[in-house]
Copies of this chain bind each other. A is one copy, B any other.
Amino acid sequence: MKRFGQIIGVDPENFEKYKAYHASVWPEILEMVSACNISNYSIFHKNSQLFAYFEYVGNDFVADMAKMAADPKTQEWWNIMMPMQRPVENRAEGEWWANMDEVFHLD
């Protein structure tokens, strides 16, 4: 299992809309996330920043992310979410949500 911490900004004017979408996520999105071996996935908000924590329980992260990205319903979801998000400028190439570095962990 590999833990991920990721950060992205959110447009303050659209945050309530973003929150409402996430309060009633389409079931196909949840099913695809689980099918891509992502578990214990949380998103937190403060000060127009979103922080995501999840655990990857598969054995080919790149392939699973490609599978997710190829899913039409996920694309439809992302097309609504992405304009409300404000990615950090120094994210790595190919990232949207920026991966953070793990500094500490205790089980």
Contact for A7 among B43, B51, B98, B99, CB less than 8 A? B51
Question: Are A5 and B42 in contact, with the CB atoms below 8 A?
Answer: yes
Residues of A48-107 contacting chain B, CB below 8 A: 49-51, 53, 88, 90, 98-107
Contact for A46 among B42, B45, B88, CB less than 8 A? B88
Can you list 12 A-B contacts (CB < 8 A)? Answer: A5-B42, A7-B47, A18-B103, A22-B104, A30-B106, A39-B106, A41-B105, A42-B104, A43-B102, A44-B100, A51-B53, A51-B100
> Which residues of A does B touch, CB under 8 Å?
3, 5, 7, 18-19, 22, 25, 30, 33-34, 38-47, 49-51, 53, 88, 90, 98-107
